[in-house]
Amino acid sequence: MGQQDAAAIRAELSAGLLAPHAFTAPKYLYDVLGSKLFEAICELPEYYPTRTEASIFDVHLSDIAESVGRGATLIDLGAGNCAKAARLFLALQPAQYVPIDISVDFMHEAVARLQQQFPQIEMTAIGMDFSSALDLPDVVHRKKRLFFYPGSSIGNFTPHEALDFLKRLRKACQLNGDADGGILIGIDLVKDKALLDAAYDDALGVTASFNLNLLQHLNRVLNADFDVRNWRHRGFFNVESSRIEMHLEARSDVTVRWEGGERRFERGERIHTENSYKYTPEKFVDLLEQAGFGESRTWTDPRGWFMVCHALAI
């Protein structure tokens, strides 16, 4: 679960569940099963982001590699199964690969496999929650840091939080007092509501399982008594806020108890479990510039559904 201590995690979760509109942070969707379910989501016909982002990297890899350059300290934020970074290794030839993830056990298994495949690359996996602070240990090289943040995971932050986060990344791209390094990031773009709704509420119900698995995670972490069968998944695009929202909705009146708390949820009442903000290219590049990145280069797919962006710390 990363570095945050268990009592602080329980306090954070409990406060969210007791808030007037109950919520939990999206990072809690990722225990080992959550990470595996996310891998399955990436295979779904409705979930276009992974496939579309991969196609952008395939088509524009030489351009992207030229923009990024070789020998970077490749820091993979929310690395998951590390597959996306691994596909860049040959073109980018990083000096060091630093996967970071809160779902530590899942990541460690992936890195062990990858290290065997690429013994020449120094790999330093870090289990941490990067949402509130980014304290990288000294083993992470300072030279030419490239923060790799694919999958539009930055959309889990509000635009204001995203700006703060990008500023933290920019601060970490500093070598002997000079700006050094940059960011390579994948951004999901605003599009038709029906496409977005389907991507987060698929016909097979894999996204529903991913969302509902949060309750099992809460049962373990909080010693709670959620019965998964009392809840249903809701996932939809909120056009006004330009964000996907995921919720868990009580199917009937239900009382839930956990260590240090209890709450009665009425039928239809929801726990807000994730946001995923969608951007226009201009709005996102503007955010990067406000954070201290520049010389942005962007690549999109022919339908303009997704964008990959490389920007330098300036």
Q: Is 55 in the site for ligand SAM (CB under 6 A)?
A: no
Q: Is 102 in the site for ligand SAM (CB under 6 A)?
A: yes
Pairing of strands 243-250, 231-238: antiparallel
Instruction: Spell 75-89 as b/e; 16+ CB within 10 A means b.
Output: bbbbbbbbebbbebb
Q: Which residues, 77 to 96, sit near ligand SAM by CB under 6 A?
A: 78-80, 84
Q: Which helix (H) or strand (E) holds 122?
A: strand 122-123
Nearer to ligand SAM, 151 or 265 (CB): 151
Q: Using CB atoms within 10 A of its CB, is residue 219 exposed (0-12), middle (13-18) or buried (19+)? A: middle
* Residues contacting ligand SAM: total by CB under 6 A: 19
Q: Helix, strand or coil for residue 8?
A: helix
Q: Is 153 in the site for ligand SAM (CB under 6 A)?
A: yes
Between CA 176 and CA 190 the distance in angstroms is: 39
List phi, psi (to 5°) of 161.
Answer: -65, -35
Q: Is 136 in the site for ligand SAM (CB under 6 A)?
A: no
Q: Is 276 in the site for ligand SAM (CB under 6 A)?
A: no
Question: Which of 1, 13, 14, 35 is the binder for ligand SAM (CB under 6 A)?
Answer: 35
How many helices (DSSP H) and strands (DSSP E) are in the chain? 10, 15
Q: In this chain, which stretch among 89-97, 99-107, 209-217, 241-249 interacts with ligand SAM, using CB under 6 A? A: 99-107
Q: Is 217 in the site for ligand SAM (CB under 6 A)?
A: no
Residues making contact with ligand SAM (CB under 6 A):
27, 30, 35, 38, 50, 78-80, 84, 100-103, 129-131, 150-151, 153
